[in-house]
Amino acid sequence: MTAAISENTQAILLLTAPLASARGKVAPVLSQAEYTQLVELLRGLQRQPKDLLARDDALVAACGAIIDERRLARLLARGFQLSQAVDHWHTRAIWVMSRADPDYPRRLKVVMGQGAPPVLYGVGVRAALDAGGLAVVGSRAASADAFAYALNVGRRAAEAERTIIAGPTRGVDHAPMFGALEAGGRALGVMADCLEAAALNRANRPALMDGRLVLVSPLDPSVRFDAAHARQRHQSIDALADAMLVVNCAPDGETWAAAVAQLERRRIYVRPVDEPVLTALKGKGALPWPEPLDRAGFDAALSP
């Protein structure tokens, strides 16, 4: 196997990760729901995921109430594939952590509970994941005004020494991160696809090297984008942030759904313009973004 990651993380990767970087046949890995059930069973037995690495037949049989024993054995037998994948990630400066690790973001556990991603992959300073900040979200189809607005929010956040949290994709999500980094600030990018490509992107290298940019994903570093991945990204972005600013969105899109789902739990702001969808969000309890210009203003806007 490999000593580069904890035994618990090794076990969790074997159970839940496709290990696509190993370029072998992808095994039928556990879904989030299956993994959560398995962890609850292990906890009831006063055992941990790492105990499954010992090939304890009695323990595997006990887990049969949740996961077919043959399927579980096949997943746990992927040690060589895991070693290949971890080596592949390391050559690209990609780290991996699991919910069993002490430096796993507390924010994800508190906000998402058992729904928190079993594994996180990332590039950059891990400690930044618990620093909080402003999540800025919007749709890929953005007007020039919306893009310019999001860009300026990123610059203002940098001047106020507050972190921007967003998804580094085209459109509104990319703009605040670019604005923050351009102004010498910090950004945390939560990705729904292609973390590996982003880690190798020369444009990201300076900010990654000086600790101002962190890229993280709950998905395999080589995975491609789809709608389900976008939902996972939105959930993680919200959990890692102190507040969310919606710059624009469609009434039936993932941005709208994520904002509405979090209205009862945290402050949701909208760009203060007269747009029907943003007005509808205000009708549900969202607040107009107060346009803070300094650190005190940002602190007030992001306070609980």
pLDDT in tens, 44-89: 999 999 999 998 889 999 999 889 999 999 999 999 999 999 999 9
For residue 181, CA distances in Å to 30, 192, 301 come to: 37, 20, 21
DSSP for residue 47: -
CATH architecture type of domain 126-302:
3-Layer(aba) Sandwich (3.40)
- Place 132 in a pLDDT band, splitting at 50, 70 and 90: very high
% the chain with pLDDT above 90:
68
CB 278 within 8 A of CB 256: no
Q: What pTM did the predictor assign?
A: 0.89
Residue from 161, 132, 138 nearest 150 by CA: 138
Helices 174-182 and 144-159 sit at what angle, rounded to 10 degrees? 40
Residues 122-149 have a mean pLDDT of: 91
Contact 8, 100 (CB under 8 A): yes
Is residue 134 classed as helix, strand or coil in its secondary structure? strand
pLDDT of residue 1 exceeding 50: no
What are the structural domain ranges in the chain? 7-91, 126-302
What does the pLDDT look like over 217-269, one tens digit per residue?
Answer: 998 898 776 666 667 788 899 899 999 999 998 888 888 888 888 888 889 99
Residue-wise pLDDT tens digits, 37-50 = 999 999 999 999 99
Q: Are 85 and 183 in contact (CB under 8 A)?
A: no
